[in-house]
C-alpha cells in the first residue's frame, strides 16, 4: 500500500522556468510533509517542509503547497536552475506514527540550460 505517491517519474524543464513536482497521499493522519533532494550516490538532503495546519510554505526559490481536502501537495521551484537537477522525494509523517517517515518513489528533475 503506497501511502505517498509521486506519479511522475521524471520531469524536464527549461532553465528559468517553473518546475512543479506533485505528490499525493492517502493517509489522513499525516500531519507533516517534507521534500528531500537527492543527487546520485549521496544521501537525500532536506529541502522544505509544511505542517498540515498550513497551506503554503516558502523558502527562497522553493514553495510547497498543501491541499488537504485533495490530499495533494506540490513543490514549485522558480526560477529553475541546472543545479536543481536531481531526484526529489516527497515524504510524510504522522505524530501517531512514532516518527516514521514514508517516502514517495521520487521524481527525477532535469533542468536544461
Point out which residues bind another protein (CB under 8 A): 6, 32, 34, 36, 41-46, 49, 89, 93, 98-106
Beta carbons within 10 angstroms of residue 106's beta carbon: 19
Q: Which is nearer to another protein, 87 or 111 (CB)?
A: 87
Of 4 and 13, the one with the shorter C-beta distance to another protein is: 4
Smallest gap, in angstroms, from Cβ of residue 18 to another protein?
24
- Residue from 47, 50, 82 nearest 62 by CA: 47
In this complex, which beta carbon is closest to another protein, that of residue 43 or of residue 83?
Answer: 43
Rounded to the nearest whole angstrom, what is the least distance from the CB of residue 38 to another protein in the complex? 8
Burial label for 48, CB within 10 Å (0-12, 13-18, 19+), is: middle
Tracing cell 497521499 back to the chain, one arrives at: 25
Which of helix, strand or coil describes residue 110?
A: strand
Shortest reach from residue 104's CB to another protein, in Å: 6
Amino acid at each position: 500500500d503506497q501511502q505517498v505517491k509521486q506519479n511522475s517519474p521524471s520531469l524536464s524543464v527549461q532553465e528559468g522556468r517553473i518546475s512543479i513536482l506533485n505528490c499525493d497521499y492517502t493517509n489522513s493522519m499525516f500531519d507533516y510533509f517534507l521534500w528531500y533532494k537527492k543527487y546520485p550516490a549521496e544521501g537525500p538532503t532536506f529541502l522544505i517542509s509544511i505542517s498540515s495546519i498550513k497551506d503554503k510554505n516558502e523558502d527562497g526559490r522553493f514553495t510547497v503547497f498543501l491541499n488537504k481536502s485533495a490530499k495533494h501537495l506540490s513543490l514549485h521551484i522558480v526560477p529553475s536552475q541546472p543545479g536543481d537537477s536531481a531526484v526529489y522525494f516527497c515524504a510524510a509523517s504522522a505524530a501517531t506514527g512514532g516518527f516514521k517517515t514514508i517516502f514517495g518513489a521520487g521524481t527525477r528533475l532535469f533542468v536544461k540550460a
